[in-house]
Structures are given as C-alpha cells and as structure tokens.
Amino acid sequence: MATTHEVFNQPAPLVDYNLFDTHRSLRDALKFNAPTLQTTQLHELGATLGSAGMQAHARLANVHTPELHTHDRFGRRIDEVEFHPSYHALMTAAVGAGLHGTPWTGTSASPHMLRAAGFMLFTELEPSILCPVSMTYAATPALRGNAAVYAEWGPKLASLRYDPALKVFSDKPGLTMGMGMTEKQGGSDVRANTTKAVRDGSDAWGARYALTGHKWFFSAPMCDAFLVLAQAPAGLSCFFLPRVLPDGTRNAIHVQRLKDKLGNKANASSEVEFHGATAWLVGEEGRGIPQILEMGTMTRLDCALGTSGLMRQSLAIALDHAAQRHAFGKPLIEQPLMKNVLADLALESEAATALAIRLAKAFDHPDDEHERLMARLLTPVAKFWICKRGSHFAQEAMECLGGNGYVEEGGEGVMARIYREMPLNSIWEGAGNIMALDLLRGLRKGDAVAALAKELAPARGQHAALDRLADALPARVEAMASEAQARRLAQDVALAVQAALLAQTAPAAVVGAFCASRLGGDWGHAFGTLGAGTDFDAILQRAQPR
C-alpha cells in the first residue's frame, strides 16, 4: 500500500532565493537609467522577500482576510478593520523599505527609481498590502497644498516605522494616507461627485469644513488620513480628512461594508459615509481636479510597476516548475513548445520591466523638459499596455503548471493569487479607455512628437521593424482625430518605446525576438508563437530565477 503513495516528479517550491539578484532585466534597466544608483538596499530587500517566512506571511494575509467591526460590544460606533498579524508584518516590511513617502525626502540621486524597483520586488511577494503604501506615496506631495498640515504630517509620512494603531497622529511614529474619490454615481467621472463640504470655521490647519456624503470605493480605510473630493461653494475641491481628530476623538467616517473582491484579498476596500466629518481644505477651492490628476499620475506609475512585478513572479514560478517537472521523457523546459511559450513570456516580462523603470526615471527629473514630457506621455501608455497584458500573461504562465497552477495551496497557489490580482491594476486609477484618452490629451501638450522621436532616436538602426514604426508614429500622432483609434496608438507607442529600451539594455537574442514578433509580425495571437529562428535558450537562460 505504501508504494501507491510515493510522491515524485513534483517540483520543489521556489523559495529562499533573492528576487533582485536573479532579476537580470531589472538590474540592467536600473543600470541603464541610473548608472550610479546604489543597489545594496535592493539586494537586501530581494533576499528578505524571497524567504520562506515572508512567503508564509503573504499567504496568511490573503487567507485570513480583513474583518470590519462597525461597533464595539457595548454598541458604540468604532468603524475598525481587523487584520491578521501577517498583514502587519508585511506592512512593516514595506514601510521599512521606504516604499511609501520616502522618495519625497530621500537623499538618493534617483529616489523614485530606487523606490520603483523596491515596489516591483515587493509586488512579487504580495501586491495587495501595497495599496496604502502606493496611496501614501501619491498623496504626500499633494498635501503640500496645505502647508500647515504638511509640516506636521510630512515627516511621519516618510518615516520608516509602521504603526497600525487608530490614534491621534501626534502619538504615532509613522503615518499612512489613503484617497477617496470614486462615488457610485460617477466612477471615473469625479465631476459627478455629490459629497458636500460646508465651511466650519478655521484653525491652525487652515479652512475647516464639514463633509457629508459617501465614497463607493474607499480603499485601506484604516489609514491615518485621506485626501478626498467634495463639492465646496467654489466647486469640486480637495480635502484632508483624518481618521482621528487632533483632540483624539474619532472623525465621523462610517465604514458601511468591505468589498468582496475578485482578488486583492489582503487589502480592505470599503464603502463609507461621511456624517459631518471634519476636513481641511488642501489647495484652493474649486481646484480639486488638478490635484487629483497629480496624485493619479503617481498611482498609475505603481499600476505599471505592480503588473510588471506580477509578470516577473509568475514567469519565475513557471520557469522553475518547468525546469524540475518531467514529461514525455525530459524536463518540460526542454520541450520545444514549452520553450517557445516561456521565452515569449520572458520577452513580455522584460519589456514591461524596461518601460516601467524608464517611466520611474522621469519622476526623478521633474525640471528636465524632456523627462517632464515623457512622464506625461508614458504614464498612460505604460498603465494601459502593461496592465492590459497582465491577465493574458498570468493565464499563460499558470497553464505552464497545468492543473497544479489552478489550485489554491502550496507554492503553486501563488499563481491563482496572481491571476486574480492582475485585472485590478488595469481597472484601478482609470481603465483602458481613460488611459487612451489621457494619452491624446498628453500629445497636445508641448512638443510631444519631438519628445517621442528623441526617445526613440538612440535605437535607430537596431532593427528594421522598429525603424518603420518610429517613422510612422509622428504622422499618426499629428493625424489622430478619432478617439476610436486611441487604444491602437497607445499600444504602438508602448511597443516602440519598449523595443527602443530593449535595444539599449538587453542581449541581441531578446531584442531580435521582441522586434520580430511584436513589431515585425512574426507572431501569432497567443503566447508561444515566436518564429523558428528565435534563440530560445539564450532568452530562457537570462530569465531564470535560480
């Protein structure tokens, strides 16, 4: 009987490895965009995030999901969300790595790129706890619109200490922030918001208001404060809304329920009501939209970074599985069709990494006109294209594991978690149509055509297909009059920039295969359809996680 229970040909889990040291495309992208960047911190973070202990925290935080407690046992309203201890362990690690507000006060020459690489690595471990981390990153510079609040909150928003307690900000060593924009009747059309703001005096933090209304998506409701939109007398305005008021009392933010989401399980997303909640004006009345757009740019960067990280992790698991699993007499990774699939995924992952890190570079140079224009153009392009490719990518990587990839336990269970997570980054902070329209708006600002041509120029002559696309793009941009073609343009700009970056950072095998398939048409309609002349072994060797 015992012999029937012998277990063999089951790959060992991918654990206790360094996510950074084995991510060659990320290291090359950083070296290209910031040659002098010190990566010791990323090496240490990569080792931590690849450990068995941190992987266990990621699993537990998703299995034991957040629980809402609206009242205590005596009937008093408390509006608290309870998390598993593993959630707090992950938050402690993310904040300790400076993935939240630290780039705004950092001393590194490339603080946003350093933070972007760390954010990408952390996403490989567990993406959903990064929602409050990302929002803190995005909200911190916008908070400067209220100098008095920023003076007291800014340093603690950049602190490397995480404190989950719901108490007054002055008693905490570190703080996090969220955002509340979406209302059920408006969605992406935030101008349709109905939450009302009524002037309620002023104090040391400036103009004070009472907010009455609701938010349909209010993510991470246990953050210490939020930037929210509400209708003031002069129009839609931005407000600073703390969970606990300076006198220690809890603000009138009532959490109605937590969302039952497809994925993103470790993070609490909620619906809330404001019952005369106290808030302070940030910036000018009626100028809420520009401030929200500024914050949205930061979170859209994180969407691209996050999906790139998820791509890398699902690819790493698929590669490691295929190297160990045997079928039809040899390892899966030696089977020609599997080589094609894995190499195709490796190309997509490397191109996503290159584009996301290039975008992060633009945020490190806000005073450079070219970088400013590239931030404006590449933010919607990267958000649109990388995130659009995510779900298809995850499904194909899962298929490399067969039925094992579809289960919810063990190392393979990470694949199911990644697959559920992938659609979120495409939807959050503006779905595909919003990004395509935002690209059209960006192309009307400054000399965008010249900036795009300058970006592609260093790769000219590297591949005929890239040259043809680069030649055609200026005329297409100039002639773009129909919104119906905006997605196609966003796709092609993304592919052109990805190819140009790979031409400057990746080996010839990667560049040739990417350009021949994505730009030259030697490709099918599914992953695993690269041309027969592809150097599969060179591409796979570069992508290996061990």
Domains of the chain, CATH where assigned? 24-157 (no CATH), 169-287 (2.40.110.20), 290-543 (1.20.140.10)
Average pLDDT value for residue range 155-159: 96
Average pLDDT value for residue range 509-519: 98
Average pLDDT value for residue range 143-162: 96
Average pLDDT value for residue range 331-358: 98
Contacts of 144 (CB under 8 A, 6+ apart): 150, 154
% of the chain surpassing 70 pLDDT: 99
Band the pLDDT of 91: cuts 50, 70, 90.
Answer: very high
Residue 478 · residue 464 · CB < 8 Å: no
**pLDDT at position 315:** 98
Band the pLDDT of 196: cuts 50, 70, 90.
Answer: very high
**pLDDT at position 333:** 97
Band the pLDDT of 294: cuts 50, 70, 90.
Answer: confident
DSSP labels, 281-309: EES-TT-HHHHHHHHHHHHHHHHHHHHHH
Average pLDDT value for residue range 70-81: 96
Cα 104 to Cα 294: distance, rounded to the nearest angstrom: 14
User: If you count them, how many residues does the chain have?
Assistant: 546
Average pLDDT value for residue range 424-451: 90
β-bridge partners, 215? 272
Q: For all residues of the chain together, what is the average pLDDT? A: 95
% of the chain surpassing 90 pLDDT: 88
**pLDDT at position 508:** 97
**Model-level pTM?**
0.96
Cα 122 to Cα 312: distance, rounded to the nearest angstrom: 11
**pLDDT at position 410:** 74
Band the pLDDT of 409: cuts 50, 70, 90.
Answer: confident
**pLDDT at position 296:** 85
Q: How many degrees, rounded to 5, is the angle at CA 55 between CA 53 and CA 61?
A: 105
Cα 247 to Cα 269: distance, rounded to the nearest angstrom: 27
Average pLDDT value for residue range 185-197: 89
Cα 509 to Cα 155: distance, rounded to the nearest angstrom: 47
DSSP labels, 428-477: TTS-HHHHHHHHHHHHTSSSHHHHHHHHHGGGTTS-HHHHHHHHHHHHHH
Q: Which of 233, 225, 221, 236 is closest to 279 using CA atoms?
A: 225
Q: Left, alpha or beta for 272 (phi > 0: left; psi -120 to 50: alpha)?
A: beta
DSSP 26: H
Average pLDDT value for residue range 168-191: 92
**Residue found by looking up tokens 């629980």 in the block:** 67
- pLDDT tens-digit series, residues 323-335: 999 999 999 999 9
Residue 154: is its pLDDT beyond 80?
A: yes
Q: Which of 536, 494, 546, 541 is closest to 518 using CA atoms?
A: 494
Residue 49: is its pLDDT beyond 60?
A: yes
Q: Give the N- to C-terminal CA distance of the chain in Å, as an integer.
A: 37
Residue 513 · residue 327 · CB < 8 Å: no
β-bridge partners, 327? 330
Band the pLDDT of 1: cuts 50, 70, 90.
Answer: low
Question: How many Cβ atoms sit within 10 Å of the Cβ of residue 223?
Answer: 22
**pLDDT at position 443:** 87
